[in-house]
């Protein structure tokens, strides 16, 4: 089975911290994912940074609809790699 990376993209640190806590709780993760800050390509302004919460796992292990809903509730979205 292949691993999949779910990336929840959030607008600010507070939203990312709330999402990390909620994701860990709702998915029953042993450890809460750590929010990571990522500057947008070509942007030097710190205001133009996004916050990411990354959840790795085997394909099909996590319900993407739940992850999408959590991200959307915090003005974010879900990406998969």
Rounded CA-CA distance 17/34 in Å is: 8
pTM, entire model:
0.85
**Residue 2 pLDDT:** 83
**Residue 40 pLDDT:** 61
Rounded CA-CA distance 29/26 in Å is: 8
Q: 50 near 9, Cβ under 8 Å?
A: yes
- Could you tell me how many residues make up the chain? 81
* Mean pLDDT score across all residues of the chain: 89
**Residue 14 pLDDT:** 96
Positions in the chain whose pLDDT score sits under 50 = none
**Residue 46 pLDDT:** 57
DSSP class of residue 4 equals E
């Amino acid at each position: 089975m292949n691993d999949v990376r779910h990336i929840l993209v959030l607008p600010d640190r507070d939203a990312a911290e709330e999402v990390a806590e909620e994701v860990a709780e709702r998915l029953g993760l042993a450890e809460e994912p750590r929010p990571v800050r990522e500057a947008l390509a070509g942007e030097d302004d710190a205001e133009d940074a996004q916050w990411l919460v990354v959840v790795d796992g085997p394909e099909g292990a996590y319900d993407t609809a739940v992850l999408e809903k959590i991200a959307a509730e915090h003005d974010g979205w879900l990406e998969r790699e």
